[in-house]
Amino acid sequence: MPSHKDWVEFANFDLISAKELINVKIYITAVYHCQQCAEKILKAFLAFHNQKIKKTHDLVALVDLCSAFDNSFIKLTETAGRLKPFAIEFRYPDDLLIPDKDKATLTLEQAQKIFDFVKQKITDLETGQKSIF
């Protein structure tokens, strides 16, 4: 079973990939990597808590699972819902909606928000820090 550190590393790879793809104007793949970043960082939190990682792309469901350990995750529900469709949308040539730079940039910001939030939670737990929020 991969460690939580492995999940964090792979989430970061997806975040870096999304940024680079936006830079070279490949928005369709960038939004997919944004969703993947959020999915993997949420799974990192579950792995940190020694939970079996289910094969799912449902970010809202993953936020719900994380909320069982820390109810502050609930505030990620709306953002996760916005990223959730990118696991499958835009991946095939018959899709009619292709993201533009603005959509890809917004999606990256949402993925970054989830990544930063979860990574900080894991870091705080690893170091014994307690959030004042």
Q: How many CA atoms does the CB half-sphere of 30 hold within 13 Å?
A: 25
3-state secondary structure 61-107: HHHHHHHCCCHHHHHHHHHHHHHHHHHCCCCCCCCCCCCCHHHHHHH
Domains of the chain: residue spans and CATH = 4-127 (1.20.120.330)
The whole-number pLDDT of residue 133 equals 46
| pLDDT tens digit sequence for 123-133 | 998 887 665 44
- Give yes or no for a contact between 45 and 62, defined as CB atoms under 8 angstroms apart: no
Residue 20 token pair: 């680079």
| Residue 130: per-residue pLDDT | 64
Question: What is the sign of the dihedral through the CA atoms of 66, 4, 91 and 99?
Answer: positive
Return the pLDDT at 38: 98
Q: What is the pLDDT of residues 12-63, one digit of tens each?
A: 999 999 999 999 999 999 999 999 999 999 999 999 999 999 899 999 999 9
- DSSP letter string, 19-58: HHHHHTT-HHHHHHHHHHHHHHHHHHHHHHTTPPPP----
Whether the pTM exceeds 0.85: the reply is: yes
